[in-house]
Amino acid sequence: MLLLTRRETEIPSSEITPKETYEAFELNRRQLMKGLGAAGVAMALTRKARAELKIDDLVATRYTAPDRATTPEQMAKSYNNFYEFGEEKSDPAKNAHTLVTYPWNVKVEGLVAKPRTFEFGELFHLQPMQQRVYRFRCVEAWSMVIPWDGFPLSELIKLVEPLPKAKFVQFLSLENRKEEILPYGIPWPYSEGLRMDEAMNPLTLLTFGSYGETLANQQGAPVRVIVPWKYGFKSPKSIVKIKFVEHMPPTTWNELAPNEYGFYSNVNPQVDHPRWSQAHERLLNAYTLFPKVVPTLMFNGYGDQVASMYAGMNLRKDF
């Protein structure tokens, strides 16, 4: 456990948030303050206010990616996949301000002994926040390194007590056709899933923030899952339901194009996407016209922690 402190009294101009971004964030902050306690309010405050109030002395477990530079915050929040708010990478940052993140409930149901519905503030306070700096790789062969704030999904799972028959976990995202856009042919709601051992792995994070702030809407606010050894679409955003099931659940991209997007979708340089290679990736960790291209790491570099879950599996077949 490390004690993380940030007490800057001055903020460099490079870190000043654009006015339009701040206004959208400020709206979410005000909404959150109505429903959260002191810790929730602290999480929602701007970086400068957090420093001034000296509330940044947070105990956090810090998982780092030492071989990669952290992606600049504004880059990570302006280049996103979130099809509910547009197909282009810049669309979610432009359009996701319409997403209303308070009030927010997450329903947990299915094969569990203690099904329940969590209000966001209750969910937020289940466990102390941890900051984990994870590699985050997209199936389109680009990657970022992002500090995510949350706690292991396993803590929530243990609380609801899955039954022995529960072998998979399904995640369903918000379905709000007034606020969101989905390209023709993609069904509502967005669905993703994990095998139970994957969901229970300590690396799998129930995530509420990044860079020490609450999640930006385009990142999947107010709560999402991060699964760092899989391609990015396996980390579902804006979750409203978690369902425990016996059989492999249908998931959005696996249903739409099973030859391109497998259920497991572990980062694997040896298994190409039918339309491009996965052997290399572009590092989006600096503002440059020519991002550095590096070899893709098996399991995105987390093999020591996750490879044993797939022992004996044919990872070309079960991709």
CA-closest candidate to residue 309, choices 199, 171, 224, 161:
199
The pLDDT of residue 259 is 93
**Which residues, in sequence order, are bridge partners of residue 146?**
134
- Distance between first and last Cα of the chain: 35
The pLDDT of residue 187 is 80
CA distances to 8, 40, 63, 221 from 29, in Å: 21, 10, 27, 12
The pLDDT of residue 180 is 63
- Intervals of the chain under pLDDT 70: 1-67, 177-181, 184
What does 130-158 look like in DSSP terms, one character per residue? EEEEEEEE-TTSEEEEEEEEEEEHHHHHH
pLDDT digits (tens, 9 = 90+) for 212-271: 999 999 999 999 999 999 999 999 999 999 999 999 999 999 998 999 999 999 999 999
Domains of the chain in start order, with CATH, are: 2-310 (3.90.420.10)
CB 212 within 8 A of CB 50: yes
Is the whole model's pTM more than 0.85, yes or no?
no
The pLDDT of residue 176 is 74
pLDDT digits (tens, 9 = 90+) for 77-93: 999 999 888 889 999 99
